[in-house]
Amino acid sequence: MTESSAPGMGRGLIALLAVGMFINYVDRGNLATAAPLIKDQLHLSNTQAGVLLSAFFWTYVPFQLVAGWLAERIGPYRTLAMGVALWSVATFASGLAGGFVGLLLLRLLLGIGESATYPCNAKILASNLPPEKLGAANGTIGIGQALGPAVGTFGGGLLIAGFGWRPVFLLFGLASALWLIPWLRATRGTAAWDRQAQTMPTLRAILARRELWGAGLGHFAFNYGFYFVISWLPLYLVKARGFSITEMSIVGGLLYLIYAVSVQASGLIADARVAKGADNSRVRKALMIMAHIGMAACMLLCAVAPAILSLAALLTAGLFFGMATATLYPIGQTLGGPIAAGRWIGVQNCLGNIAGIVAPIITGRLVDTTGGFGWAFGVAAAVSLAGTLAWRLIPRIEALDFSPLPPSRERVG
């Protein structure tokens, strides 16, 4: 399925997608950065803080399915624009929220808007690039995913320390809306997507593939540790390690900078190996298994090691964040192919981001119950390690055939 008069897949469009991803992660992560102040000002328990940090995913997860459907039906360009507009409003309004309930509702709205990002990116990339170039493109976009938390944690933390959290939400909401100006200009004139709904696989057909469950479960297992860190890092550093808001911002920013370098390098290295003749399935699977094992080791060290070694392990986790980010999405985009990448990534990301719902809440409960973060790090390590088994469900990473079987073949076996 192609879009007539669609903009070319040049560096400018990939750069805009990367900037959009950057904004996405700044806006979703600003609550975590402001959590130490919001928690004190609104007199929240760790469990309530965990609910707020999790609430974004209550809508973000199921609306992945809606966003994937919209990306195929009305096109990824306009679907993404609508999503950015919605989440800009939610971010701005969060700065005006008067209490727990208001923030909770706005986090739900933010999740709906941001659900458009990954399915739309997947549809655009898979429709324009061959599998051997998906790693580098996703790596570039992944830089935005890494730098968003870096700037949000470092720059946002410094701004929050100086001016308070409310003005920062207002500022970030306005800045997010400005992205729409170059995006609408770059995609101006794109026509409606060709109506070829009969060629698009149904949700049932995608769910019937074992490869989908392998990718989705592997995605979940890695995301559990990722969202545990991205959601609770500020509170962990400030409350458990005694860092100031400024010191927390520096450490968090450094972690995400390491992540940014790793995601681009991992994507380039994987693509280079495939281009030279290495098996695409082996390259992508090996990177994911290394990322799972590396993340598990880092989380275990954070649970049991002294402060300095624990901090080093936390920073090292950024390497494995990048390795996984540059690999997860090329796998799904390749399996779905140009015809189904938007819907496939919508489903895969839906399964993977259930971790964003459960990880913050489980962490809050564990911290409230045990009085520390040791068990929370241990659970993150166990889940990540278990994820290595999921990739065995994918025999080959290649475009799947969603064509219905002829009646004669359907009757056999």
Assign 298 a pLDDT band (cuts: 50, 70, 90): very high
| pTM, entire model | 0.79
User: Residue 379: its pLDDT value, please?
Assistant: 95
Average pLDDT, the chain: 84
Q: Which CATH architecture has domain 11-182+201-400?
A: Up-down Bundle (1.20)
Locate 144 and state its tokens: 């935005």
Q: Are 26 and 156 in contact (CB under 8 A)?
A: yes
Separation between Cα atoms, residue 337 and residue 304, nearest integer Å: 43
User: Residue 196: its pLDDT value, please?
Assistant: 43
- pLDDT > 90? residue 135: no
A 10 A CB-CB count for 394 gives 22
For residues 224-230, give the mean pLDDT.
Answer: 88
DSSP letter (8 states) at residue 305: S
For residue 26, give Cα distances in angstroms to 149, 220, 256.
Answer: 6, 22, 12
Domain range annotation of the chain: 11-182+201-400
Share of the chain above pLDDT 90, in %: 36
A 10 A CB-CB count for 46 gives 18
- In tens, the pLDDT along 149-196 reads 777 767 777 788 778 878 888 998 999 999 999 998 887 766 544 444
